[in-house]
Amino acid sequence: MTKLSDTQRVILSAASQRTDRLALPLPKSLKGGAAHKVVNALIEKGLLKEVKANRKLNDPVWRNSDEGHGLSLIITEAGFAAIGVEVEPQKTKAPKPESKPASPERKARKGTKQALVIELLRRPDGATIPEIVEVTGWASHTTRGFFAGALKKKLGLTIDSEKIEGRGRVYKLDT
pLDDT at 102: 46
pLDDT at 66: 87
Q: Which CATH number fits domain 113-173: 3.30.460.20, 2.40.50.140, 1.10.10.10, 3.30.365.10?
A: 1.10.10.10
Sorted by where each begins, the domain ranges of the chain are: 6-82, 113-173
Q: Return left, alpha or beta for 41; rule: phi > 0 is left, psi -120 to 50 is alpha, else beta.
A: alpha
Assign domain 6-82 to its CATH architecture: Orthogonal Bundle (1.10)
Identical fold at 6-82 and 113-173?
yes
**3-state SS assignment for residue 10:** helix
Q: How far apart are CA 140 and CA 147, in angstroms?
A: 11
With 50 as the cut, is the pLDDT of residue 58 above it? yes
Q: Which long-range contacts (CB under 8 A, 24 or more apart) does 87-93 make?
A: 87/16, 90/21
pLDDT at 104: 46
pLDDT at 91: 55
pLDDT at 105: 46
pLDDT by residue (tens digit) across 69-100?
889 999 999 988 888 888 765 555 555 555 45
For 143, other C-beta atoms within 10 Å of its C-beta total 20
pLDDT by residue (tens digit) across 155-167?
888 889 899 999 9
pLDDT by residue (tens digit) across 102-127?
444 456 667 788 888 888 999 999 99
Q: How far apart are CA 39 and CA 51, in angstroms?
A: 14
With 90 as the cut, is the pLDDT of residue 56 above it? no
**Strands, E, within the chain: which ranges?**
48-52, 63-64, 70-75, 159-164, 168-173
pLDDT at 103: 46
Nearest to 27 by CA among 49, 5, 47, 46: 5
Cis-peptide, bond into residue 124, ω within 30° of zero: no
pTM of the complete model: 0.49
pLDDT by residue (tens digit) across 4-55?
888 888 898 888 888 888 888 888 888 888 888 999 999 999 999 999 988 7
With 90 as the cut, is the pLDDT of residue 170 above it? yes
Asked if residues 170 and 120 have their Cβ atoms less than 8 Å apart, the reply is no
